[in-house]
Amino acid sequence: MTGKRPTSFDIAALAGVSQATVSRALSQGGVVSEAVRQRVVDAAAQLNYTVDVNARKLRSKKINTIAVLISEDMDKTDSPINPFFMPMIGSILKYAGSKGYDVLVSLQKQSDNWGSDYGHARRADGIIFLGYNDYDTYTKKVAVLGEMGEPWVLWGPVIPEHPNLVIGSDNEGGAYSAVKHLIGLGRRRIAFLGEPSASHLEYKERFEGYVRALTEAGITPDPELMIDCFISREDGVAAIERLMSQGVAFDAVFAVADLLAVGAIQQLLRAGRSVPKDVSVMGFDDLWVCTCTSPMLSTVRQDTTEAAHVLVDALDVLISGHPVELKRIPTQLIIRESCGG
């Protein structure tokens, strides 16, 4: 529909130079006299010309594109993307864009044999994986990429034994500081709401922080207070229902994810308990929803902006052929109304 797009030859003719010179004038490192460059730029503007990126990529073998592959969230019906990743994706788009990368975004089922495709077909120079937190599944996948020499980084649990290039939050430390804060408030019976599967290492790390804080305060972790849940608001509601129906006494809730904490607050209020007077509630993530509840939710913030920068920078380094170390990003305790004083 576009009619005839002008090519570099058209610009060359109009500017009275060779096609090669047009190419030089319009690319980053091209050596041309300033006068000629100006003529070319004017001619390009006049004909509404832009470099054909596909020809450039083919010829130069530089793609300047990164792929963001997001694990499709099968639990959620409303949106296929985990809300935690939303601002992170936004920041990745913004930051990668500022570094001159185009960004391909794709949703993938964890089961598919995706991934290799993107780099392999020369669509992207490197891949950022988001939401692949099931250790058993993803390790095999990225191993393939490693063999192919495809640069990739993954957001997830940072563990030393892990094959390089994983970037994530200080989950244990974040959980520790949160629970320590609750203890400082005088809470002793702190319920733990979390993911049961042993392959979700991030949640396991948060559990370890919980245990450390309790132990340090001389409190013996009580299995009755530990509720296995998947990560959803509904599971948070159910967890509180279960604790109360079993008659388990508790004066605080630490949830491994804000979604759980949101559900917990709702169910506590519904049951006539006051938050934070009767029960303090603490989440993890600092989703945007934390400021929308009444009372507003205290939480452990994962810095998604910083995460995006670190991920893109690491991939950038990897693409240029240098090694990168795995990195743990500090969390920050955010105290709002749901904790009380």
Say whether residue 291 binds a copy of itself (CB under 8 A): yes
The CA distance from 52 to 126, in Å, is 21
Beta strand extents in the chain (DSSP E only):
65-71, 102-108, 126-130, 152-155, 166-169, 190-194, 226-228, 252-255, 280-282, 299-302, 327-329, 331-334
Q: How far is CA 180 from the centre of its chain?
A: 26
Q: Alpha carbon of 110 to those of 62, 140, 143: distances in Å?
A: 29, 11, 15
CB of 32 or CB of 127, closer to DNA:
32
Query: How far is it, in rounded angstroms, from Cα 74 to Cα 30?
Result: 48
Nearer to a copy of itself by C-beta: 72 or 241?
72
Using CB under 8 A, pick the residue from 50, 137, 215, 274 that binds a copy of itself: 50
Tally the C-alpha atoms within 13 A of residue 61's C-alpha that lie toward its C-beta. 2
Instruction: Give me the 147-186 binding string for a copy of itself, x by CB under 8 A, dash otherwise.
Output: -xxxx-----------------------------------
- Which ranges of 80-227 would DSSP assign to H, the alpha helix? 85-98, 116-120, 135-148, 171-184, 201-216
> What does the per-residue mask of binding to a copy of itself show for 109-148, with x meaning CB under 8 A?
--------x-xxxxx------------------------x
Q: Kindly tell me the burial class for residue 47, based on how many C-beta atoms sit within 10 Å of its own C-beta (0-12, 13-18, 19 or more).
A: middle
Q: Does 93 bind a copy of itself (CB under 8 A)?
A: yes
- d(CA 173, CA 302) in angstroms, rounded, equals 12
261, 336 Cβ separation under 8 angstroms: no
Q: Which stretch binds DNA (CB under 7 A): 13-21, 130-138, 267-275, 306-314?
A: 13-21
Binding status of residue 1 toward DNA by CB under 7 A: no
Least separation in angstroms between residue 204's CB and a copy of itself is 26
State which of residues 13, 47, 51, 159 lies at the interface with DNA (CB under 7 A): 51
Beta carbon nearer to DNA, 8 or 298? 8
How many angstroms from the chain centroid is the CA of residue 20?
42
Binding-site partner at residue 106 among a copy of itself, DNA, none, CB < 5 to 8 Å by type: a copy of itself
16 vs 90, which CB is nearer to DNA? Answer: 16
Name the β-bridge partners of 252. 190, 280
The answer to whether residue 58 forms part of the interface with a copy of itself (CB under 8 A) is yes
Q: Does 58 bind DNA (CB under 7 A)?
A: yes
Q: Give the residue carrying structure tokens 């998604």.
A: 304
Q: Site map for a copy of itself, 249-268, x if CB under 8 A?
A: -------------x--xx--
| Sites of contact with a copy of itself (CB under 8 A) | 1-3, 5, 48, 50-55, 57-58, 63, 70, 72, 78-81, 83, 86-87, 89-91, 93-94, 97, 102-107, 117, 119-123, 148-151, 233, 262, 265-266, 269-270, 288-289, 291-294, 296, 321
| Sites of contact with DNA (CB under 7 A) | 5, 7-9, 17-24, 26-27, 29-33, 35-36, 49, 51-52, 55-56, 58-62
